Structure 1
Amino acid sequence: MKKKIHDLDSVLSEIGQFGGFQILTCAFLCIPIFLAAFRSLSYIFTASSVEHRCHINECDLDNNTHYAFLPSWLNNSIPYENGIPAKCSRYKSRGFTSDFENDTSHVCMDDLFDQSTIESCDEFVFKDDRKTIATEFNLLCSHNGWKLALVGTLNSFGQLIGVPLGGYVSDRYGRRTTLALAGTLSALMGIIRSFSVDYIMFAIFESLDAAVGIVLFPTCMVLAMEMVGPEKRVLASIILTLFIPLGNASMGVVAIYVTDWRSLLRILTIPGLVHIFYFWFINESVRWLLVQSRYEEATTALNRAAKLNKTNLSEASLKDLYADNELVKTTSKQSSCESYPIRDIFKSPKLLWRIANCCFCFITNTLVYYGLSLNSVTLAGDKHMNFIFACLVELPGFLISYIVMSKLGRRPSQSGSLIISGVACFLSCFATQRQPWLAFLLFLIGKFAIGVSFTVLYIYVSELFPTNLRQSLLSFCSMFGRIGSMVAPQTPLIAQYVPSLPLILFGTFAVTSGLLVLRFPETLDTKLPTTIVDAENVGEKKLEKPDGANS
C-alpha cells in the first residue's frame, strides 16, 4: 500500500483548519488590507478638478473674502455651456470703468463686456474651499486635464512594476518581512507625497507608493491561504476581500470632511506606519518556512497554532511532515534539472488559448472595476456619496460570490457576472438624461456584478493551471490586467467629449469577456491540476474527498 503523504494540509486538519490561531491571523491581516484600500484610490480626490469659473475683475470685488460662485450678473460676463458657466473662458472686457462697487443694485451690466469675443483667463473663483493639486499647481483648464488623468495611470503603472517585484521579495525574504516593509514604505511614500512642491514630485511619489502598496493585498492573501486549512480557504479569502470596499468607502467619508489634499493624504497614510510592528504581531508563513527548511521556527509556529486552537500536535506528525517535505524538495530539484515546464506550455495550443483568454479577462475586470469607481464621481449628485455607494455595493457581491461559486460553479458565475455588468453599463447610457436615479441604479448594478466577477476570477484562474506553473501564470495574467487599470483613469477625460463612451467601452469589454469565459472548463469539485496534461484535461474528473479536505 502506498504511504500517504503527510503534508501541511494534513497537519492543519489535525490542529484545526480555522480555529483561534487562523482567526487571529486573519484579523491582523485585515488591517493592512483595509489601510491599503484606505489610500489606494486617494488620487480620485487629491488629483481631481474642482468646480470653478473665471474671476471677473470688473465685477468680483477685491475687498470680498468670498466671491459668490453664481451671482445674478454672471451670464453678462461668462459664456454658458449647456446651462453651466464656462470654466476657463470669459467675454472680453470693453475697458470701461465699473461703478459696481458703489452700485447698491449689485448688477454688473452687460455693456462692460464684448459678448462677441471670448478669451481665456488665469484667475478663478471656486465653488467651495476644497483644495486639490489642480488648484494648487494650476491644473484647472481642459489643456491640463490630461495631467490629472495621468496620475491614475501612473498609479497603475507603479502597480504593474510592483506586482512581480513584490512576488520575488515575498518568495525570497518571507511573507511577514515583505508585509512589514511594504506597508511601512508605502506609508512613508504617501507622507512624502503630501509635501510635494510641484506636480512632477507628486506624480513620482504616487507611482512609487503604488509600486510598494500593491504588494500588501497579495501578500496578506498568500499568508492567510498558507495558514488556513484547505476547506476554509475560500471563506478566508472572502473575509479578507471584504475590507477592500470598506477601506475605499472609509476614504470617501474622510474626503467629505477633509477638504485640503495635503491633510487628506496625511490622514490616509500615517496609520500605515503601524506595519512596522508586524515583525512581531504575526507568525511567518509555515509553508514558506518549510520551503526554506527552517524547521525550528515552523515547529514554534505550529505549536502556537495548536495551543490557540486548543488542540494537540504530535511529535510524530511533525517528523512525518519534515521528512516528506525534504522528499518533495529533493524530487522537485531533480525535476527542475531535467525539464523546464514553462516551455511545455508552448506545445499546448489549448493552454496558450486559455492563457490569452485569462489575460483578456483580467484586463476587462480591472478596466470595468476601476473605470466604474473613477467615473462614479462624475455622476449627477454628490461625488463623495456616489463613490461611497459604489464601494459599499461590493459588500453583498463578495458574499453572493461565495454562494454562487459553490452552487452554480465557477464558469457560470464568472460569465454571468461579467455579462450582467456589461448589460447594466449599456442600459445606463440610455438613462442618463431624463432619469439620473435610474442611471445611478444601473451603475451600482454594474459595479456589484464586476465585484462578484473579480472575486471569482482569482479563485477560478488558480484552478485552471498546473501546480508548478500556477503562481507564475496567475501573476502573468494579473500583470496584463494592469493594462485595464492604466486605461481606466483616462475614461473620465473621454467622458468630457462623449459622456456615454466610457460606459459603452465597459459594456463591450464585459459582455465580450463574459462570452469568451464560456470556453473555459468547469472546475467546481475537480482536482487541482498537477501537470500540464492534468491542466489540459481539467474539469473531466471530479474530486474524490478523502477524509474531508479539498485543496
Structure 2
Amino acid sequence: MSKVASANERMAATFDTDRLMHELGQFRRFHVMNYFLLALTVFAAALYAINYVFLAADVPYRCVVPECETFNSTEYSPPWLDAALPAGGRDRRCSRRSPLDPQQSCDGATFSEELQECDRWLYASNDTIVAEFNLGCQEWKRTLVGTIHNIGMLVSLPIFGYISDRWGRKRALILSCTLVGAIGSLKAFSISYEMYVIIEFLETLAGASAFPAAYILTIELLGQDKRVLTTAFLGIVLVIGGLSFAMLAKTFSYWRTFILVVYPPSLLFLSYIYLLPESIRWLLSKGYKEEAVAIIMKAVKMNSVTLSDETMKQLNEEKQRPVEQKKEDPEQQGLWMQVLRSPIIMMRLAICSWWWITCTFVFYGLAINSVSLAGDKYTNYMLVVSVEVIAVVTNALVLDRVGRKRTLLVAYTVCGLSCMAITFVPKSLPWLVTVLYLVGKIAITQAFSGIYMYTSELFPTHARHSLLGFCSMVGRIGSIVAPQMPLLAIYVEWLPSVLFGAAALVAGGLMLTTPETLNTRLPDTIKEAEQIASRKIRPAPPTDDIQMNDSRL
C-alpha cells in the first residue's frame, strides 16, 4: 500500500463517521432524497434479477405428425391427437406414432405402437424463447439460460467490487445500472439462441452489481443503529420490484415486448451523475476530504442541522500530508495482502462465502420451482415473493433486539428443517408441502436479507465492497446450480429438497463461529474488523444529545 493509502487509513481510523452521520440527521431532506434515488435502482434490479423465470419459461408443445397435418398447422389439439401421441410424460412431447394406413384419414386411423422421435414441434404459445428458438425437447438449453445468467453475476461482482472500492460507490452504481439497460435491451433483437445467451451473460456481467452498490451506499449513509431499518427498507423495495416484475411479465407476455418495456428506462440512471452524491464514508476513508466536506456541508444545509464543535474541528483540520511519512509502514500492504495476513478475516471470508452459496442456492432454487407449482405461474410467483415481506418485517423487529447471529441461526435452521421435512410428506397431503415450501422461503429470505448487513459489518470500509463482492461472487455458485434442480428432480424427486435443507443446516452451524455485531460501529480498518470479536472496537456514539428525526420510512 502506498504512503497515501497508509495515511488515509489512519485518518479513517481517527475520524468518527458514525457520530457525523448521527449529527447530520438520518431521516431529513438530504437522506430521504438519497433513499428515494437508491430505491429506484433497487426496484430496477428486482425487475432483472431472475427474468429468465418467465422469458425462458417452459410452454406446452407437442410433436408435429406429418402424416396427419402440415408443418405450418396451428391446431394444437386435433381429434386424433391422443391416438398419435404416447400417454404422457416426456415421451408425449418428444415422440409420436405413425398411422398404420397412411392413406386413411387420421380422424379414424389406427396408429402403430412403435414410437418415433419428433423432428418438428407445435407450440401452444410463442411467448417465451422456447418457441421462438425451437427448443422443444432440449430442456437443458432452457435451464442453461439461468445458469449463464448467474455465471455472469459471478464474474461481475469482483470487477464492480474493485471499481466501487477504487473509484467510488457512485461510479460503480451508475455504470452497472446504465449498462444493464443498454445491453439488456439488445436481447429483444436476438435472432438465435446463441445470440440470446451471449447477451444474457453480458447483461448480467454489467448489471449484477447494482444492488450491492446501492446497498452499500445506503448503509454508509447511516449510523449503526439504522442499519436494520436500511435492510428492511431495501427488502420491501425488492418485494415491490418482484411483484411488479410478475405483473409486467403477465401484461407483456411476449418476451421481446417485455424486454423493450422494462430495460430502456434504466438508461435514465445516467442522470445520477448529477443527482446522487458519493458515499461520505468512502471519500473520508480514501482521503478525499475536500469532496467529503462539500457533500457534508450540502447535507447540513438541506437538513437544517448544526454540527458539533468537535466534528467541525475534525473537518477543518488540514489533510494529513503523506509526504511527511519518511518510510512506508511495512505492515501496510495491498488490500488482498492484508486479508491474506489476517487469519481472522480469511476465516470470515470462507464462512461468509458458504452463507452466500446457501442463500443463493436455496432462495433461487425455491423461486424457480414456484412457477412449476399447480395454478397460474404468475400468481404463484407473486405469492412466493409476497411472503418475503414476513421475513423482512421479522428482521426489522428482531435484528436489533435479539442480535444478528441468533436471528440468522434460527433462519437457517428453520429453512433447513422445512426443506428436509418436505421429503417425508405423503403425496396425499399437498397442502402440507406448500406450507413447508413457504416456511422455507420465508426463512431463507430472512437469512438472505440479514446476511447482506451482517457481512457488511464484519469487513472494513476501505475493503467492504470488494470483500462483500467476493462473498457474493462465490455465492453465485449456488445460483448457478439452482436452475438445474428441476432437471435433477426428474431423476430423483426428493433430492433437491434434501440438498436445500442440508446446505441451510451447515450454514446455521457456521453461524456459531463468528462474532455478534449488534451495537458495534462499522469498522474502517482491517485491525478494527479483527477486534469486533474482542469488543475492542469503539462503540457507536450516543444519540441522546444529537438532534435527529426518528420517524420510520
TM over 0.5: yes
Q: 1:456 aligns with which of 434, 439, 450?
A: 450
Among 196, 205, 209, which residue is 1:202 paired with? 196
1:310 and 1:323 mapped to 2: Cα distance? Answer: 23
Alpha-carbon separation, structure 1, partners of 2:332 and 2:136: 61
Q: How does 1:328-477 map to 2 (within 5 A)?
A: 334-335=328-329, 338-339=332-333, 343=337, 352-431=346-425, 433-465=427-459, 470-477=464-471
Task: Select 2:300's aligned residue among 301, 306, 309.
Answer: 306
**Which amino acid in the other structure matches residue 445 of structure 1?**
V
Match of 1:13 in 2: 22
Q: Show the 5 A alignment for 1:150-189.
A: 150-189=144-183
Change (3 A) 1:339 1:304: closer
Distance in 1 (CA, whole Å) between partners of 2:384 and 2:322 is 46
CA-CA distance at 1:145 after TM superposition: 1.5
Where does residue 104 of structure 2 map in the other structure?
A: 98
Q: Deviations over 1:274-295 (max 9, x none)?
A: 2111112222223344455555
RMSD over equivalenced CA pairs, Å: 3.2
1:118 is displaced (CA, Å) by 0.2
Question: Does the 8 Å CA contact 1:75/1:85 hold for their aligned counterparts?
Answer: no
CA contact (8 A) 1:358 1:477 kept: yes
The one of 47, 51, 56 aligned to 1:38: 47
Contact 1:397 1:451 in 2 (8 A): yes
Amino acid of the residue matched to residue 417 of structure 1? A
1:279 aligns with 2:287: no
Q: How many residues align?
A: 532
The equivalent of 1:236 in structure 2 is 230
Asked if structure 2 preserves the Cα contact closer than 8 Å seen for 1:249 and 1:391, the reply is yes
In the other structure, the counterpart of 1:547 is 542
Q: Where does residue 105 of structure 1 map in the other structure? A: none
Deviates more, 1:388-397 or 1:460-469: 460-469
CA contact (8 A) 2:419 2:500 kept: yes
Task: Name which of structure 1's ranges 306-315 and 406-415 shifts more when overlaid on structure 2.
Answer: 306-315
Match of 2:112 in 1: 114
Name the amino acid aligned to 2:92.
Answer: A
Conserved? CA contact 1:175–1:223, under 8 Å: yes
Matches within 5 A, 1:19-34: 19-34=28-43
Comparing 257-266 and 365-374, the one that deviates more? 257-266
Provide closer, same or farther for how the CA distance between residues 212 and 343 of structure 1 changes in structure 2, counting only shifts above 3 A.
closer
Matched, 1:125 2:134: no
Q: 1:545 to 1:123 in 2, by over 3 A?
A: closer
Q: TM-score, normalised by structure 1?
A: 0.87
How far apart, CA to CA, are the structure 1 residues paired with 2:33 and 2:345? 39
User: Which residue of structure 2 aligns with residue 77 of structure 1?
Assistant: 84
Q: Secondary structure at the match of 1:28?
A: helix
Distance 1:286 1:350 in 2: 27
What SS does the aligned partner of 1:284 have? coil
Q: What is the CA-CA distance between 1:40 and the residue it aligns to? A: 1.9
Structure 2: which amino acid aligns with 1:67?
A: E
- 1:403 CA drift (Å): 1.8
Evaluate the alpha carbon distance shift between residue 380 and residue 324 of structure 1 in structure 2; reply closer, same or farther with a 3 A threshold: farther
Deviations 1:350-394 (A, max 9, x none): 654443322222111110011111111112222221111111211
Give the letter for the 1:119 counterpart.
Q
Give the structure-2-normalised TM-score: 0.87
Deviation at 1:303, TM superposition (A): 2.5
Q: Distance in 1 between matches of 2:380 and 2:426?
A: 15
Three-state SS of the structure 1 residue aligned to 2:263 is: helix
Q: CA deviation at 1:185?
A: 1.2
The letter for the 2-side match of 1:176 is: K
Equivalent residues of 2:458, 2:529 under 8 A apart: yes
Residue type of the alignment partner of 1:40: A
Percent identical: 36
Deviation, 1:317, is 4.0
TM-aligned CA deviation for residue 174 of structure 1: 2.8
* CA spacing shift, 1:320–1:534, aligned 2, 3 Å: closer
Q: Relative to 1, partners in 2 of residues 1:49 and 1:185: Cα closer, same or farther, differing over 3 Å?
A: same
Give the 3 Å change call, closer, same or farther, for CA 433–265 of structure 1 in structure 2. Answer: farther
Q: Supply the distance in 1 between the matched residues of 2:281 and 2:522 (Cα, whole angstroms).
A: 18
Q: Secondary structure at the match of 1:237?
A: helix
**Retained in 2: the 8 A contact 1:18–1:232?**
no
User: What SS does the aligned partner of 1:525 have?
Assistant: coil
Give the direction of change, closer, same or farther, for the CA distance of 1:432–1:187 in structure 2 (3 Å limit). farther
Structure of higher RCO (CA pairs closer than 8 Å, 6+ residues apart): 2
Q: Which runs of 5+ in 2 are unaligned?
A: 1-12, 547-553
CA distance in 2, matches of 1:177, 1:531: 22
Task: Provide closer, same or farther for how the CA distance between residues 263 and 336 of structure 1 changes in structure 2, counting only shifts above 3 A.
Answer: farther
Classify the secondary structure of the residue corresponding to 1:17. coil
Partner Cα separation in structure 2 for residue 306 and residue 24 of structure 1: 14
Unaligned runs of 5+ in 1: 101-107
Sort the Cα spacing of 1:54 and 1:37 in 2 relative to 1 into closer, same or farther, 3 A. same
> What displacement does 1:37 show?
1.0
Q: Compared with structure 1, are the counterparts of its residues 431 and 194 closer, same or farther at alpha carbon in structure 2 (3 Å cutoff)?
A: farther
1:67 to 52, 72, 75: 75
Q: Which moved more, 1:193-202 or 1:489-498?
A: 489-498
- For 2:260 and 2:201, how far apart are their aligned partners in 1? 17
Q: Do 1:7 and 1:324's aligned partners in 2 also have CA atoms closer than 8 Å?
A: no
Q: Does 1:137 align with 2:137?
A: no
Q: What residue is the counterpart of 2:261 in the other structure?
A: 267
**Structure-2 separation of matches of 1:62 and 1:345:** 62
Q: How far apart, in 1, do the equivalents of 2:385 and 2:509 lie?
A: 26
Q: 2:112 is paired with a residue of what secondary structure?
A: strand
Q: Is contact 1:49-1:140 (8 Å) kept?
A: no
